[in-house]
């Protein structure tokens, strides 16, 4: 069953989608002129797609946080989500149905994406959306779920875990592990091979996927994902890394945003070096699954993500680490907003396909 907001969209929003779609398909030279001056940091050039997107935000202090309010921030993000489709019709090559997974304290809403070309028992990605653990939703990532299912030929389960501040840490990490376990237990129902399930996500969702992979490997019994697909995850909530000072202003995710999200996520008194909070700490078990870990060159979280790739390697975990040097944090949902975004997401989708095949 299609989600309601995937089919009934106000005309004004459709017009905005069409305008964004037209802009994303203009010749690169035209878009480059519209994007303004080049941005170069440490010999890396910010992609035209990213410059154009950032310029479109104007003088807004934050692209994510509205009036220090989780509720207003969520509403603003959901209003803008249709524009991320850039006027594209939902792919008919992917079947979509709403399901429920067992969370840590009750049922979680989720969406199952099934590619028309998919096998009866395919692999699956259990996907956790980004949004600083406070905003975002599976509805806002609907176009991402469709894209990944179609490109990989495997199923995608996109999960609405509990958000802060209503459900502070460890609610989200507990929901993530429970959702993975329930997917494995119900693999036949979902048409999934239980031995080919990857956990993944972007930003805060990438953090949840990394924690889930570690917890599954640490517990000694129970299923373990076959891989972890991590796009620009937050791995260290206890310390600052140089990229946070280098890119903490002007590149979509600001230093103020990071502080706001982290302070809402982790209650006072919780040790931020706890590996359930910050996967950069603690001992990595030998059974931890292989990782595809992507960082963005203009991302304040870049350095901590790359340090986590090094930590996994040092523990003997196979890691495919990729830096998309010309992109900012958060590029996964921008897959349809320009050729460079599409190229980067397609490359990670291909890596996901290899993990699931």
Q: Are 299 and 251 in contact (CB under 8 A)?
A: yes
Tokens 């502080």 — which residue? 259
Is the C-alpha dihedral spanning 96, 144, 93, 154 positive or negative?
negative
Strand partners, 112: 97, 157
Any idea how long the chain is?
357
Is the C-alpha dihedral spanning 40, 42, 45, 51 positive or negative?
negative
Q: How far is CA 200 from CA 65, 218, 283, 304, in A?
A: 24, 18, 21, 17
Given the residues 203, 243, 278, 348, select the one marked as catalytic. Answer: 203
In the residue annotation, 203 being an active-site residue is answered as yes
Which pair of tokens denotes residue 138? 């599976």
Which pair of tokens denotes residue 41? 């940091």
In the residue annotation, 299 being an active-site residue is answered as yes
Decide: residue 328, CB within 10 A, 0-12 exposed, 13-18 middle, 19+ buried: buried
Distance CA 306, CA 315 (A): 15
Distance CA 183, CA 125 (A): 10
**Non-local CB neighbours of 236 within 8 Å, separated by 6+ positions:** 278, 280, 281, 304, 307, 308
Given the residues 299, 303, 336, 348, select the one marked as catalytic. Answer: 299
If phi > 0 it is left, if psi is from -120 to 50 it is alpha, else beta; for residue 200 that is beta
Q: In what order do the strands lie in the sheet with 319-328?
A: 94-103, 106-115, 155-159, 122-128, 192-202, 227-231, 291-298, 319-328
**Non-local CB neighbours of 63 within 8 Å, separated by 6+ positions:** 57, 252, 253
In the residue annotation, 329 being an active-site residue is answered as yes
Given the residues 129, 329, 336, 348, select the one marked as catalytic. Answer: 329
- Active-site residue numbers? 203, 299, 329
């Amino acid at each position: 069953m299609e989600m309601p907001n995937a089919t009934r969209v106000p005309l004004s929003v459709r017009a905005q989608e069409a305008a964004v779609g037209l802009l994303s398909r203009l010749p690169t030279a035209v878009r480059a002129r519209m994007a303004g001056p080049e941005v170069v940091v440490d010999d890396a050039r910010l992609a035209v797609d990213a410059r154009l997107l950032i310029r479109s935000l104007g003088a807004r202090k934050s692209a994510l946080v509205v009036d220090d309010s989780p509720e207003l921030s969520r509403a603003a993000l959901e209003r803008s989500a249709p524009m991320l489709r850039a006027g594209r019709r939902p792919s008919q090559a992917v079947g979509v149905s709403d399901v429920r997974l067992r969370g840590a304290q009750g049922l979680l809403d989720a969406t199952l994406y099934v590619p028309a070309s998919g096998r009866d028992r395919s692999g699956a990605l259990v996907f956790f959306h980004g949004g600083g653990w406070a905003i975002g939703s599976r509805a806002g990532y609907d176009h991402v779920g469709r894209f990944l299912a179609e490109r990989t030929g495997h199923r995608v389960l996109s999960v609405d875990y509990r958000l802060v501040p209503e459900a502070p840490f460890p609610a989200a990490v507990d929901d993530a592990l429970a959702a993975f376990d329930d997917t494995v237990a119900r693999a036949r129902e979902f048409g999934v091979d239980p031995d080919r399930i990857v956990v993944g996500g972007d930003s805060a969702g990438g953090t949840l996927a990394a924690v889930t992979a570690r917890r599954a490997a640490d517990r000694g019994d129970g299923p373990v994902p076959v891989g972890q697909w991590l796009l620009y995850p937050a791995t260290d909530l206890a310390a600052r890394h140089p990229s946070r000072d280098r890119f903490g202003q002007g590149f979509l995710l600001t230093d103020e945003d990071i502080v706001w999200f982290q302070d809402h996520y982790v209650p006072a008194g919780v040790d931020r070096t706890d590996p359930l909070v910050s996967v950069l700490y603690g001992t990595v078990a030998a059974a931890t699954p292989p990782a595809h870990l992507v960082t963005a060159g203009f991302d304040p979280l870049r350095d901590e993500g790359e340090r986590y790739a090094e930590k996994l390697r040092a523990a003997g975990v196979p890691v495919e680490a990729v830096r998309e040097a010309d992109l900012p944090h958060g590029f996964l949902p921008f897959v349809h907003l320009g050729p460079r975004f599409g190229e980067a997401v397609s490359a990670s989708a291909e890596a996901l396909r290899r993990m699931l095949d």
